[in-house]
Amino acid sequence: MSYYLGIDFGGTALKIGITDENGTIQTKQSFETVKHNEPDKIATAIGKCALKVINECGIPQDRIKGAGIGAPGLLNPETGQLKFVTNLQILNGYYLTPAIEKIIKRPTFLDNDVNAMALGEFFYGAAKGYSHVIALTLGTGIGGGLILNGKLYHGASFTAGEIGHVSIDSNGLLCKCGNYGCIEQYANREGIVSRFRAYYIHKEMKSAIDRFLEDGEITPKSIALAAEAGDHLSKLVLTEVGTCLGVALASYVNALNPEIIVIGGGIANAGELILGPARNEMMKRAYTVPARAVKVVPAKLKNDAGIIGAASIAVNKLG
């Protein structure tokens, strides 16, 4: 049995685990992401955390074939360089892979965290057995990963998959990327809450949302729970969000002709409340042949997607 180390490198948390060749997590630990003004010290801290997991796992160390690092932002997977890290900009331009590899003494590979999620679903999750896959994560932003002809597609500058920035309205909401009408502005956390508030507070539409608030706050989760309980306004909001998503999915389907679109991230936990309307709108707008061929399904790996996805980066490289 072969094993792989997965390092899920987030802005606030560092999750590290070891998976077997079936994608089953054998052990995992969480650490606080070290923030320092010296990149080498951050890399050393990550490497030491990884060594701790390796040394405590009880697995023969020669069976751990390699490590994958899933990181946010723009990067170069061929050189292991972090080009732009939103939450830890001191690492911009830093070559993370060689630094970690030197510490853990195993082949180490780096890729974008959503590409990692796509690989995890491709090898072990909802997309297993498919060759043409689009993976989406719906959360604070919208990220994407593309697997075409059974291979992860990076694009000419390693930025392929930024499909959260496909515009569904040229005169729509201004996005942080500088474009207008990006689907991210309508189907991310802030977009969903803003839509709900526009109806509930500004138009004074009735809702039972107060029963489902999280620490007194309206969140996508509270909206989904209210919708499941029959709240009309919450259902309306999630239907509209799903419809917006479906407009974008139609463009993805027409351009890439995937077999399956896997949707994960916290917001996707609303399930059919969002995916149903998204599917319906996609079918209305996309070419009939590719629309009928594609499946739109929820991600399978859920909370373990980060670790399994990161380990899958190594699986993809080492086999």
For 92, the token pair is 């911009």
Q: Provide the b/e sequence for 236-275 (b: ≥16 CB within 10 Å).
A: bbbbbbbbbbbbbbbbbbeebbbbbbbbbbbbbbbeebbb
All structural domains of the chain, each given as residue ranges with its CATH number in brackets, are 3-112+304-318 (3.30.420.40), 126-299 (3.30.420.40)
In the three-class reduction of DSSP (H, G, I as helix; E, B as strand; rest coil), residue 209 is classed as helix
- Helical (H) or strand (E) element with 184: helix 184-187
pLDDT one digit per residue (tens) for the chain, 319 residues: 999 999 999 878 899 999 999 999 999 999 998 888 899 999 999 999 999 999 999 999 899 999 999 999 999 999 999 999 888 899 999 999 999 999 999 999 999 999 999 999 999 999 999 999 999 999 999 999 999 999 999 999 999 999 999 999 999 999 999 999 999 999 999 999 999 999 998 888 999 999 999 999 999 999 999 999 999 999 999 999 999 999 999 999 999 999 999 999 999 999 999 999 999 999 999 999 999 999 999 999 998 999 999 999 999 999 8
* Contact of 49 with 91, CB cutoff 8 Å: no
Bridge partners for 15 per DSSP = 8, 30
pLDDT of residue 86: 80
Rounded to whole angstroms, how far apart are CA atoms 206 and 21? Answer: 51
Rounded to whole angstroms, how far apart are CA atoms 34 and 56? Answer: 21
Output DSSP code: residue 174.
B
For 115, the token pair is 């590409």
pLDDT of residue 228: 96
pLDDT of residue 10: 85
pLDDT of residue 208: 94
For 207, the token pair is 């809702």
